[in-house]
Amino acid sequence: MISDEEPGYDLDLFCVPNHCAEDLDKVFISHGLLLDRTEKLARDVMEDMGGHHTVALCVPKAGHTFFADLLDCIKAPNRNSDRFIPMTSYCNDQSTGAIKVTGGDNLSTLAGKKVLIVEDIIDMGKTMQTLLSLVQQHKPKMVEVASLLVKRTPRSIGHRPDFVGFEIPNKFVVWYALDYNEYLRNLNHVCVISETGKAKYKSEAESSG
C-alpha cells in the first residue's frame, strides 16, 4: 500500500524520455519494483491456483502488457510441468464498462474451470464488475482477479481484487500499460502526470478528434 503522503521520486534519478519529461511530475513506482512485484504476484497466483486448468482473461487493451508480463512469470518455473494457462483476451470497448470479446474461445468453455482475470489498474471498478457478471453466467469453478494497481478513489464501487500489486492514492498515473489519451505509453516507470502534461495531451486529443 502506497500512502497518500508518498512524494514519489525526482525524474532525474531515473531514465525518462527527454521529450516527455515536462509532462511528468514524479516517478511513482520504478520499473524494477514493478517487475519484482509482478513476479511475486505470479507466485501467489500459482500457489493459489496452480495444478489446475486455469484460463487467464485480460482486460482492457492497455492491460495486455501486464497480462503478458504476469503470465511469463507464471510460466517460467513451470515450463517442464503439466500446468498451463490458455490465454483468452478481453478488451474494454467503451469507458461505460461495456465488454466485447476480441478473440479466444467461446465463453461457454469457461464452465467448470478456474478463471483468472488480469487487469492493469482498477479505478471505479465498473468494468471489472461487468466482466465478473458476464463470466459468472457461464458457471466457472472459480473466478479470481489480479490487478497490478488499485486506486483509492471516492468513485470506487468497492471491488477488491484477490491479488493486488500496489494500492495507490487517487493520482493520475501513466506508464507503458496505461496511457493518457493514447500518449505517454513509452514509459518504463509508473509516473504521475503533471498539469502541463494533462493540458497538453487533452488539447492534442481534442484537436485530433
Q: Which residues are catalytic?
A: 123
For residue 87, the SS3 value is strand
Longest dimension (CA), the chain: 52
Bridge partners (DSSP) listed for residue 24: 193
Instruction: Point out which residues pair with 90 in neighbouring strands.
Output: 101
Cα–Cα distance between 112 and 63 in angstroms, integer?
25
- Pair type for strands 142-151 and 163-168: parallel
Measure the CA–CA gap between 99 and 73, rounded to whole angstroms.
27
Q: Which amino acid is at 70?
A: L
Starting at the edge strand found earlier in the chain, the sheet holding 173-174 runs 24-29, 190-193, 173-174
Q: What φ, ψ does residue 121 adopt, rounded to 5°?
A: -150, 140
Beta strands in 16-107, from DSSP E residues, in sequence order = 24-29, 54-58, 87-92, 99-101
